[in-house]
Chain A
Amino acid sequence: MTRKEYLVKQKEMGRHLLGVFPAQYPKEILWAMNIVPAEIWDPPLEITLANAHLQPTICSVVKLGMELILQRKCDILDGFLFPHTCDSIQNLASVINDYMKTEKPCYFFYHPKAPYGAAGRDFYRNHLKELIGSLEKQFGPLDPDTLKQRIHQGQKISALLTELYDLRAQGELNITNEEFYSMIRHGEYLFPDDFIPELEAFLSQNKGQGIKGQARVVLSGVLPNPPEILTLLDDLGVRVAHDDFLIGSRRLLVPANDLDDPFENLTESYFAMPPCSTKGSSIGERAEYLFRLVDATGAKGVIFNVVKFCEPEWFDIPNLKEELKKKGISTLSLDTELNQGLSGQMVTRVEAFVEMIG
């Protein structure tokens, strides 16, 4: 079933659909209100209309999101949620809500930026309640017991994803790089009742010895696009041993906690997430996280595969590369468009990097 078919079916089942822009938001709250978050990262569209509203130096995540709306491909949705991920997404929210006057309700989610303190935790906890208050006006009251159940499901998903990542890191997952991310990304629209059994089945079917002797790398960036980067690495016999993707480990591998209060629980989860450029994490924290991924997997290098014009990511990269180089870890940076494939020159860069670490 395609993503679109799935969302149509969910609507027919009586669930609400919310288009969610990247990247971090309390999806458990949406699930508990019978809302399916349909994340908007890289819709396969040609950008034509959005260029009239946005300058050329805006990243393609933002442009494609706007294009999706302008091409009226969001009619099935009941509204949008804009987390405060970066200036571009924040301003996109303003353009959509304030200037274009979309008929869909727009919600906003502001998460605290590092360095964190007690005030940040209070803010986050209160903001979760404010978000619920806003959503309840459209979608009806939130049942606290249902929220607890959805938090439990969120923890189950994190545990399964952690197992999947661990198996891959240990070379005990018999799948390609492309298959791994295809599976992970189903979580961008599947309701937990469907995603959990799918993950469990995927794990049981694919646990097994990976191909030995492959060069291993860690990928960092926003998301593994264009998809050709994964197939190229597969073709070159390179295993992605771990990732530092915003779409991946930075928000998926959340350590479990057993706090009974749902707001305490969600707050703890947010602050326990790995460091991220969009949360203002320091270079030191981010570098330390990359060191850990490299050490744990025996990776020979880090590829920064970053969306062109993604300011939070690109501002960090020179310093991260410097820190990695000090430890003798090879790096490569690629500035890519989401859906435009890999140019011959990009392929050469990746091949040369593989020759270098081989």
Chain B
Amino acid sequence: MTYFAGIDVGSLTTEVVILDKDDRMVSYAISATGANVTEAVEHTLGQALSRAGLARDRLNFIVATGYGRITIPFADKKITEISCHAMGAHHLFPDTETVIDIGGQDSKVIRIDGEGKVIDFAMNDKCAAGTGRFLEVMAGTFQVPIDDFGALSLKSKREIPISSICTVFAESEVISLIARNEPAEDIIRGLHRSVVSRVWGMVQTVGVPGPVTMSGGVAKNPGVVILLEEHLKKPIHIHTEPQIIGALGAALFAKKHFLRD
């Protein structure tokens, strides 16, 4: 049996997916990237191999992706996360025409063809606005666990708009609103709206989307998903583990390159 691994090293989390020759997901693992990429990769790969009951030498081809892809010396090939998210989303939801990936460090909107190949994409600029990091910083300001942040936004009865798009200035604005005793859920709803507005701007630049799949950790945030679906006027495909879509795409590329080589 041949096996293929995809490793996605993101700014917040590292994911590994192991596939067999029939594209079946044998195992996957997710862990925090932390300050040491090499350790994070070793740890996450080790977990995935352990869950699959495989030794590392059983992996026939490894593709690395994500911002830390350049730091994985044993990867057979490095491919950008844009191509990998496209391929992973297409594999899970074959009707996908647009992928919205909101990750920790950046967000991107990717248009894909019927084979999962990228035909256009847009990516946020250097600042953290419109990313998972923005929501994480704001959750910290409210001392709310990030996993509960989206659900809290859904309790809002009167959304408060946030005028600043810069994370640092938005945080100052939020602190002022807290000082005025504005309800937390209303401010949080406004924060979610600001993320979605940024992402929606990118959606517009790549054109009106058909079926949409969301990937990345923020896909688990119902506050963001609902606001995006409002814009799209249709439901979004979301996998139970949206964070692994990049690693899955990398593993699919690993198989493709192994067979081609």
Question: Which residues of A are in contact with B by a Cβ distance under 8 Å?
Answer: 318, 325, 330-331, 335, 343-345, 348-349, 351-352, 355-356
Assess A352 versus B120: contact at CB under 8 Å? Given A343-B126, A344-B67, A345-B126.
no
Query: In the bound complex, do residue B123 and residue A349 qualify as a contact, i.e. CB atoms below 8 Å apart?
Result: yes
A330, A343, A351: which contacts B80 (Cβ < 8 A)? A351
Nearest residue (CB) in B for A346 is B126
State A352–B83 Cα separation when bound (angstroms).
7
What secondary structure prevails in chain A residues at the interface with B?
helix
State A313–B94 Cα separation when bound (angstroms).
38
A318, A330, A345, A349: which contacts B120 (Cβ < 8 A)? A330
B125 on the A face (CB < 8 A): yes
Assess A348 versus B80: contact at CB under 8 Å? Given A335-B125, A343-B126.
yes
B79 on the A face (CB < 8 A): yes
Q: Which residues of A contact B83 (CB under 8 A)?
A: 352, 355-356
> With contacts defined as CB atoms under 8 Å apart, how many contacts are there between chain A and chain B in the complex?
37
**Chain B CB within 10 Å — which of A343, A351, A352 has the most?**
A352
| Closest chain A CB from B133 CB (angstroms) | 13
Q: Which residues 76-100 of B sit at the A interface, judged by CB distance below 8 A?
A: 79-83
Nearest residue (CB) in B for A343 is B126
State A344–B80 Cα separation when bound (angstroms).
11
* Leading 4 A-B pairs by shortest Cβ distance: A352-B82, A352-B80, A356-B118, A355-B83
Question: Which residues of B are in contact with A by a Cβ distance under 8 Å?
Answer: 67, 79-83, 105-106, 117-121, 123, 125-126, 205
Query: In the bound complex, do residue B119 and residue A356 qualify as a contact, i.e. CB atoms below 8 Å apart?
Result: yes
Nearest residue (CB) in B for A350 is B80
Nearest residue (CB) in B for A328 is B119
State A348–B123 Cα separation when bound (angstroms).
10
State A343–B105 Cα separation when bound (angstroms).
12
A325, A330, A335, A355: which contacts B79 (Cβ < 8 A)? A355
| Closest chain A CB from B76 CB (angstroms) | 16
Q: Which residues of B contact A355 (CB under 8 A)?
A: 79-80, 82-83, 118
Query: In the bound complex, do residue B119 and residue A345 qualify as a contact, i.e. CB atoms below 8 Å apart?
Result: no
| Closest chain B CB from A247 CB (angstroms) | 23
Query: In the bound complex, do residue B80 and residue A345 qualify as a contact, i.e. CB atoms below 8 Å apart?
Result: no
State A352–B126 Cα separation when bound (angstroms).
17
23 A-B residue pairs with CB within 8 Å: A318-B205, A330-B120, A331-B120, A343-B126, A344-B67, A345-B105, A345-B106, A345-B126, A348-B67, A348-B80, A348-B82, A351-B80, A352-B83, A352-B118, A355-B79, A355-B80, A355-B82, A355-B83, A355-B118, A356-B83, A356-B117, A356-B118, A356-B121
Assess A352 versus B67: contact at CB under 8 Å? Given A343-B126, A345-B126.
no
| Closest chain B CB from A357 CB (angstroms) | 10
State A128–B67 Cα separation when bound (angstroms).
53
| Closest chain B CB from A236 CB (angstroms) | 11
Query: In the bound complex, do residue A345 and residue B118 qualify as a contact, i.e. CB atoms below 8 Å apart?
Result: no
Nearest residue (CB) in A for B80 is A352
Nearest residue (CB) in B for A318 is B205
Q: Which residues of B contact A348 (CB under 8 A)?
A: 67, 80-82, 123
Q: Which residues of B contact A356 (CB under 8 A)?
A: 83, 117-121
State A356–B118 Cα separation when bound (angstroms).
6
Nearest residue (CB) in B for A349 is B123
State A355–B85 Cα separation when bound (angstroms).
13
Q: Which residues of B contact A330 (CB under 8 A)?
A: 119-120
Q: Which residues of A contact B125 (CB under 8 A)?
A: 335
Q: Which residues of B contact A344 (CB under 8 A)?
A: 67
State A335–B205 Cα separation when bound (angstroms).
15
Nearest residue (CB) in B for A345 is B106
Q: Which residues of B contact A325 (CB under 8 A)?
A: 120
| Closest chain A CB from B88 CB (angstroms) | 14
Query: In the bound complex, do residue A345 and residue B67 qualify as a contact, i.e. CB atoms below 8 Å apart?
Result: yes
State A335–B126 Cα separation when bound (angstroms).
10
State A174–B67 Cα separation when bound (angstroms).
33
State A345–B67 Cα separation when bound (angstroms).
8
A318, A335, A343, A352: which contacts B121 (Cβ < 8 A)? A352
Q: Which residues of A contact B118 (CB under 8 A)?
A: 352, 355-356
State A318–B207 Cα separation when bound (angstroms).
12
Q: Which residues of B contact A318 (CB under 8 A)?
A: 205
| Closest chain B CB from A328 CB (angstroms) | 10
State A344–B71 Cα separation when bound (angstroms).
12
State A348–B126 Cα separation when bound (angstroms).
12
| Closest chain B CB from A186 CB (angstroms) | 32
State A349–B106 Cα separation when bound (angstroms).
11
Nearest residue (CB) in A for B204 is A318
State A318–B122 Cα separation when bound (angstroms).
12
State A353–B119 Cα separation when bound (angstroms).
9
State A356–B85 Cα separation when bound (angstroms).
13
Q: Which residues of A contact B82 (CB under 8 A)?
A: 348-349, 352, 355
State A318–B118 Cα separation when bound (angstroms).
19
